[in-house]
Amino acid sequence: GENVEQHPSTLSVQEGDSAVIKCTYSDSASNYFPWYKQELGKGPQLIIDIRSNVGEKKDQRIAVTLNKTAKHFSLHITETQPEDSAVYFCAASGKTSYDKVIFGPGTSLSVIP
């Protein structure tokens, strides 16, 4: 089955700096890669996703890149703000985007004002 690894496990950045979270996946059949943000006491919130036929996708301060050959994908947050502080999960899904999502272990991001 699919296995998703994520690094780093914790990340601290100064407000205004960029943050990068990297993930790898094992199943070459996976073709949908969502990213979730989870704040304390809340459920995960979908913030951006990318399909395997796209190498990069951007939404305001958030961008994701995907290298299918290397089975790597990354989340980039620019101009970080204190409200970006949360746990971020990368995930992978196989065959179609309707299949179950396999999550990475998470990255705790702290943005220091």
Write out the residues near other proteins by the rule CB under 8 A. 4, 32, 34, 36, 41-46, 49, 51, 89, 91, 97-98, 100-106
Least distance to other proteins, CB of residue 15, Å: 25
Q: Which of 109, 72, 77, 103 is nearest to 90 (CA)?
A: 103
Question: What is the DSSP-derived secondary structure letter of residue 16?
Answer: T
Q: Which is nearer to other proteins, 19 or 32 (CB)?
A: 32
Q: Which is nearer to other proteins, 10 or 12 (CB)?
A: 10
Least distance to other proteins, CB of residue 98, Å: 6
Which residues, 6 or more positions from 59, have their beta carbon under 8 angstroms from its beta carbon?
A: 47, 48
For residues 101 and 34, is the Cβ–Cβ distance under 8 A? Answer: yes
